[in-house]
Amino acid sequence: MTEAMVRLDAVGKDYGAVRALSPTSLEIAKGEFLTLLGPSGSGKTTILNLISGSIAASAGTIWIGGRNVTGLRPNQRELGMVFQNYALMPHMTVFENIAFPLRVRRCSETEIRKKVDEVLDVIGLGGYGARKPKELSGGQQQRIAIARCLVYNPDLILMDEPLGALDKKLRDQLQLEIKRIHRTLGVTLLYVTHDQSEALVLSDRICLMNGGEVEQIGTPEDLYFRPRTVFAADFLGESNILDVSVVSSGTEAKLSTRSGFQIAGVATSLSAPTAKIMIRPESFAVATDGEQGPNTVTGAVEDVTLTGGVVDIQVRLGGAETVNVRRLTTRDFRAMERGRPITLSVKSSDVMVLE
């Protein structure tokens, strides 16, 4: 394990009777891009504010770069922050906005000019120094906010939903830019979002939050392919969640769906006689007519939707049980007409038994 840039040891936050964050332990490695992902109110901003020092912890110890910062003021913690609402100073030029943290640190005029010009190039806004923030688009203003925090070379940058106010196209563009900046500068980045696709695109690891607690932490692949709970399976990507009864447990568990299909899946621990399984829509293969291998279910097509590059096929397995199947779009997708019998198979490694 590489050296930790940030370490939380059982850090919690209560507001009177309101528990914003249960005691949480978490490490962020040097140079890592870690994203706090979760619904509104799950404690993401609370973690960020505890690390930045803008709120005080009710319990636990916070370490940054090997230094215990628990009792230190924000300006003693040497980190950069970017918020959703740019927080630029409207009466100052772009140049002066970016130069501000350097002036606070009493850098020389030549050094300031050199660093601000460099960082304007990094964010692709060279030549914009003389403008006022109101003469820039939202995306450009957010780039300036990022530049203002890059300019003094912090080892750690915290970003709280920095792209939340931008439209989708700009958001996609700036995501790639933030990823590039992270890669080129090797800075440690702690990022907050409620957008699961943004977390998947950007992160080395994702820390999924639920009700002031860490639900699951791991690489994007871990969370996408091996969600441990219904909450995790539901929050990231599309998922089919089915009720099953357990026929036999073990690492490859034998399960029976409500409409009576036998399915094998990956289980970590199984104690109850019933469980839930998750299968991603793209994990189903549509078997050629009549083929009945292991892990096969049959049903009838209920609905077919063209959404662009993929087609969603709603399949009724029997009773109230339906699954969504996703395939790449082909010209003959209408051949999957309503009512047509369909056979689906899935690898047991793509069937996750949830806790």
The SS3 call for residue 112 is helix
Residue 307 interacts, among ligand ADP, Mg ion, none and using kind-specific CB cut-offs from 5 to 8 Å, with: none
If the CB atoms of residues 191 and 284 are measured against Mg ion, the closer one turns out to be 191
Place of tokens 């931008």: 166
* Interacting residues with Mg ion (CB under 5 A): 45
Residue 20 interacts, among Mg ion, ligand ADP, none and using kind-specific CB cut-offs from 5 to 8 Å, with: ligand ADP
Residue 38 interacts, among Mg ion, ligand ADP, none and using kind-specific CB cut-offs from 5 to 8 Å, with: ligand ADP
Q: How far is the CB of 43 from Mg ion (least distance, A)?
A: 9
If the CB atoms of residues 144 and 207 are measured against ligand ADP, the closer one turns out to be 207
Q: How far is the CB of 38 from ligand ADP (least distance, A)?
A: 6
Q: Are strands 33-37 and 188-193 parallel, antiparallel or unpaired?
A: parallel
Q: How far is the CB of 161 from ligand ADP (least distance, A)?
A: 8
* Interacting residues with ligand ADP (CB under 6 A): 15, 18, 20, 38, 40-46
**Which distant-in-sequence residues (6+ apart) come within 8 Å of 247 by Cβ?**
253, 254, 255, 256, 262
C-alpha distance from residue 235 to each of 38, 138, 229, 294, 349 (Å): 8, 28, 10, 29, 20
Cα–Cα nearest to 266, from 314, 301, 233: 233
Q: How far is the CB of 202 from ligand ADP (least distance, A)?
A: 17
If the CB atoms of residues 45 and 97 are measured against Mg ion, the closer one turns out to be 45
DSSP code, position 76: G
Cα–Cα nearest to 198, from 215, 218, 225, 178: 178
The SS3 call for residue 81 is strand
- Whole-angstrom Cα distance, residue 270 to residue 262? 17
If the CB atoms of residues 161 and 321 are measured against Mg ion, the closer one turns out to be 161
If the CB atoms of residues 42 and 295 are measured against ligand ADP, the closer one turns out to be 42
Residue 46 interacts, among ligand ADP, Mg ion, none and using kind-specific CB cut-offs from 5 to 8 Å, with: ligand ADP
If the CB atoms of residues 155 and 213 are measured against ligand ADP, the closer one turns out to be 213
Strand order in the sheet with 321-328: 285-286, 341-345, 296-306, 310-318, 321-328
The total number of residues written for the chain in this structure: 355
Residue 41 interacts, among Mg ion, ligand ADP, none and using kind-specific CB cut-offs from 5 to 8 Å, with: ligand ADP
Q: How far is the CB of 209 from ligand ADP (least distance, A)?
A: 6
